[in-house]
Amino acid sequence: MLPVFKDALFQAQWLRTAGHSSSGGAEIGECLAAASQIREPDAESWFTAWNSLAERVLAESETSRAKGHLVSARQSYLRAANYFRAGYTFLIGAPVDPRVVESYRRQRAAFQNAAALMVPAAEPIAVPYAGALLHGYLFRSADDRTPRPTLIVTGGYDSTAEEAYFFSGAAAVARGYTCIVFDGPGQGAAIVEDGLVFRPDWEAVIGPVVDFAVARPEVDASKIALLGISFGGYLAPRAASGEPRLAACIADPGEFSLLEEFKSRLPAWIAREIPDGKPFVLRLLNLILARKMRHTTGGWGLRRGLWVHGVKSPLDYVKLTQQYTLVGRAEQIRCPTLICSAEDDDIGVTARQLYDALSCEKAFIAFTAQEAAGEHCEAGARSLFNQRAFDWLDSRTGLRPVPNCTSGIAHNTKEGNP
């Protein structure tokens, strides 16, 4: 794939944003225009370029809505939401940059405007959780209350409920599923607005979401599937190991051990001392990582990790990762499970290990660079991921929703006003 940026992370985040074009979240030309305004690896020019684009597209949305062109308004609201999210990507960390909060709120507001114009309208939801409320949406494939197979989507480290719609929510609704997306602890509204940090026992998060789902008339309680995207590739299988009401689970990419993934990127003489080895080596590692954190892209994952986990030092973060493992848990998953990996994605290096540990009905799909799906979360060919994942979900688990041609992605292009 021809790169737009030389910096690997700038390229990955650009592709992530542009890749949502398959679900109405971007226009490739607009994304290329934004890229032309960015100096790499400069977080300020990245923010300015995407924020300016988002504001322009948002203004187009408002103009269309004011004139009664509601389809046009809906389509541009969706793109504006994605661009506002993209803008604050390299600003995340602690202490929280005020622009992260403002941009997060603007992406959420733009998406909610689009959601209200969908056919049928998407419903903002609040899931009771541990004395708090988890923000999300419920999407229906038809304007009725018929119980349908349901997909719950859980995202990753810097995901939002709104972006989950672009990844696979729109594809689910287009196929006739009811779909629920939400921000769990460490994600979206939960971290930005409420300061809730990640927890390894994700079944404690998914349980309340399933409680919410089974109380809804649009949900067939016997056919609830869970999809985990990015770090959700650990969270979803972990949840499935302790939530018996799930009928299927998909991990994209599968993540067996966060610690082992981290160690795979280090020299062997350092990796073997993690997490509780020689104090001198660990202090040295902390110093190296603290220095690395200052780099815009090289330290991005560390800055993000400290923020969403609520820890103070890189070494604290590294040690914490040992809690995020499916050792002794993968065997407890009983529902059919699909594990995915992408050829050039080092985040999913333990995907095959997770697959091998499963004792349930299981399948493995490896996506390749040749089919433009080799990047993280198949960002360059998300439609291909959705095709294969939903084909598996339909045929391997008996989840066979009745397609509704006026729902999902189709309702973003339907002529006329909703």
Just list the catalytic residues.
230
Measured distance between the N- and C-terminal CA atoms of the chain, rounded to whole angstroms: 38
Tell me: cis bond preceding 128? Omega within 30 of 0 counts: no
Cα-based distances in Å from 255 to 12, 232, 234: 19, 8, 5
Residue 141, SS3 per DSSP? coil
Residue 254, SS3 per DSSP? coil
Q: What is the DSSP string of 151-170?
A: EEEE--TT--HHHHIIIIIH
How far apart (Å, rounded) are the C-alpha atoms in residues 375 and 358?
25
Inter-residue contact 153 to 168 (CB < 8 Å): yes
Residue listed under structure tokens 């001392």 = 273
Other beta carbons within 10 Å of 84: 27
Inter-residue contact 88 to 159 (CB < 8 Å): no
Query: Which tokens is 276 given?
Result: 């509780």
Residue 400, SS3 per DSSP? coil
Dihedral sign, Cα of residue 384, residue 125, residue 87, residue 75: positive
Dihedral sign, Cα of residue 166, residue 171, residue 174, residue 179: negative
Inter-residue contact 188 to 198 (CB < 8 Å): no
DSSP assignment letter at 257: B
How far apart (Å, rounded) are the C-alpha atoms in residues 237 and 253?
11
What's the distance, CA 238 to chain centroid? 16
Residue type, 122: A
